[in-house]
Amino acid sequence: MKGLPSYCRVLDETLAYSRASGWSGFNKHDGLNSRFLEATLGHSKWTRILGIQTVMRFPWNLRPLLGVPRTRNPKGIGLFAQALLDRYATLGLDDDLREARSLLDWLLQNPSPGFRGLSWGYPYPWQDLGFFAPRHFPNRVVTCWIGFAFVEAVRQTGDPVYRDALTRIADFLLLEPRVLCDTEEMKCLTYVPDPSVTWAVMDVPALVGAFLAEAGAVLGKDYGTDARRLLNWVVDKQTTYGAWYYTHPAEASFRAHDNYHTAIILDCLDRYRIASGDESFDRAYVAGLDFFAENLFTDQGAPRWLSDREFPHDIHGAASGILCFVRAASRGKGFERFENLAVKVTDWTLANLYDRRGFFYYQQGRWMTRKFCLLRWSNGWMCRALAALSRSYGSSPQDSTSSTM
């Protein structure tokens, strides 16, 4: 590990690269932003899936050849804004707060049209197995991640414009369809506001529940009942060995227990605990955290793709692992080992997926590495992870050269 730049320096370089790109780049599922592919394959479910998956899975980046434009991804803008707010909290540099405000203001000026409240989607047509989302069609995942950035902005600035944004985001999340479960004890919402969807992506109610708990805490509003019911639904679906399937019902997806969606659920449970003071989900959190640490990383710190499949090592999995382990370590006594895991994953990532020009590679396969940057997927998530690591351990986090792993 000798000679690797410090975590703060890598964060600086990654932000500089992303800034120079105008915060615009390629995206994992943006194949149909090619006019050629959209015209030839964009007319049905299976041809759309063929186009998107071909571009996504090809060993080299076909997007420039196919004329796919670089775009600003609202989710990426939210991740970069959160990273800058974390860095501002760590270093107190006015430029970081100013830049974070500029990104948040861009989001307020570019929401998805036609829906109640405030929401965002992806800047490309996206076909999933269970639904089709046109460009900018909003979804709860993108909206929640942006919502978390606005929560942090309210904490740091108290800006009434951002407070109003939180209320409007909550309106979208709760008022737009579709509700899959709504009982006195449990609630579940779909990924997209599409009445035809009949199954759930497991991290969606977790994200909405965590956002509502945090937004309610900073606004002084009572979203607590909905937040608890949403997280209760998620915990109810945990397996006896501490894992979650990607979807419910499980057979709705080919995935079983994957890396970053597991991390997101765990982080949401902890966000809820901190915001609400309710520790009733702690047993589920600890069981899930143990499963995550033991089954979704190699001994070297590489993120496994699934619990039963190692490759590819995906940059989103690496970033999610860092975020999850940093958050777990912040609990203190009994969780100390997770600081070492956060450092181990960070060191592996810098050694294997970082390009010193200021970007992170997309994936490392068994035989080759996809050495190109998908800006939101790669730099957006790693900026979040490195900023959270720096914020947790001060302005001078340990260098890789001083790791005691």
d(CA 388, CA 89): 10
Range list of β-strands (E), 190-348: 200-201, 247-248, 313-314
Residues with Cβ within 8 Å of 237's Cβ and at least 6 positions away in sequence, in order, are 202, 244, 245, 248
Q: Band the pLDDT of 395: cuts 50, 70, 90.
A: low
Q: What average pLDDT does the segment 59-87 reach?
A: 98
Neighbours of 93 (CB within 10 A): 12
d(CA 90, CA 87): 5
87-123 pLDDT tens trace: 999 999 999 999 999 999 999 999 999 999 999 999 9
312-342 pLDDT tens trace: 999 999 999 999 999 999 999 999 999 999 9
Neighbours of 179 (CB within 10 A): 11
Name the pTM for this structure: 0.95
Provide, rounded to the nearest whole percent, the portion of the chain with pLDDT above 70: 96
